Amino acid sequence: MAYVLFISEEKLKDSTAINMNVDPNLLLPFVKQSQKLYCETKLGTDLNQKLKDLITAGTIGNAGNEAYKTLVDTYIGDFLPNMALYHAIPFLRFKIENGNIYSKTSETGTALSTEEAQHLREEIRNTGEYYMERMIEYIRNNISSFPEYNTNSGADVTPDTNAYYAGMNLETSNSQGDKITLRNFLTPDL
C-alpha cells in the first residue's frame, strides 16, 4: 500500500531552507513522520483520511472540494515542510549503515555547534507552529466545509486545537476546573 503524502518534494524544498540537491530519500521518512505526528493529531482521523482518499482518487481538485484543496495546498503545505525539516535536522549530518553511525563532514563548511543547531530547530518549529495555528483557525472558521472534523469516535484521533508546545503541559482535566495543584506536577511514582 502506497503512503499518501500531503506535500511534494518540490513544496518541501521551496518552503524551507533545504538545498535543492539534498537527496529526497533522506527527507521522506521525516515527511511521513511529521504528517503522522501533526496532520492526524490536528485534523483528526476522519478528516485526515478524507484528504488521503481525495488525493488517492485524484478528485481533490474537483468542484465541491475547494475547501479541502485549500487546506492541503495552503495550510498543510505551509506547516508540514517546516515540521519535517524540524525532525530531519538532527539526522542530516549522520549516516547509519550496517550497524554503524557515521558523522558526515563538509570540505567547504563548518558544522553547527549543538547550541546553534538547537536554536535553528526552535526557529523552524516556531514557524511550523505558527502555520499550524493558521490551519486550525481556517478549519474552525470554515467548520461547515469539514464535517469530518467532528465525527471521530472510538479509537480515532480527535483533533487537538493547540498548535503550540511550550515543553510543559498545563492543561487541566474538566473535573479539576481551572485550578493548578501540586498533583499536576507529581509523577505517578511519587
Give the tens place of pLDDT for each residue, 100-127.
887 777 777 777 788 888 899 999 999 9
Cβ-based burial of 42 (10 A; exposed 0-12, middle 13-18, buried ≥19): buried
Cell numbers found for residue 112: 553547527
Contacts for 127 with CB less than 8 Å, ≥ 6 apart: 82
- Three-class SS of residue 155? coil
pLDDT confidence of residue 84? 92
pLDDT of residue 3: 86
- Minimal CA–CA distance to 69: which of 125, 77, 18? 77
pLDDT at 173: 56
Q: What is the CA radius of gyration of the chain?
A: 19
Q: What is the pLDDT of residue 168?
A: 60
- Band (74; pLDDT cuts 50, 70, 90): very high
Tens digit of each residue's pLDDT (9 = 90 or more) over 157-185: 999 888 777 666 555 555 556 666 666 66
More confident residue, 131 or 170: 131
Whether the pTM exceeds 0.75: the reply is yes
pLDDT, tens digit, 9 for 90 and up, residues 47-57: 999 999 999 99
Strand residue runs (E) in the chain? 94-97, 100-103
The pLDDT-based confidence of 18 (bands split at 50, 70, 90) is confident
Mean pLDDT of the chain: 85
Tens of pLDDT along 137-161?
Answer: 999 999 999 999 999 999 999 998 8
User: Percent of the chain having pLDDT more than 70?
Assistant: 85
Choice between 16 and 109, residue whose per-residue pLDDT is larger: 16
pLDDT reading at 190 higher than 70: no
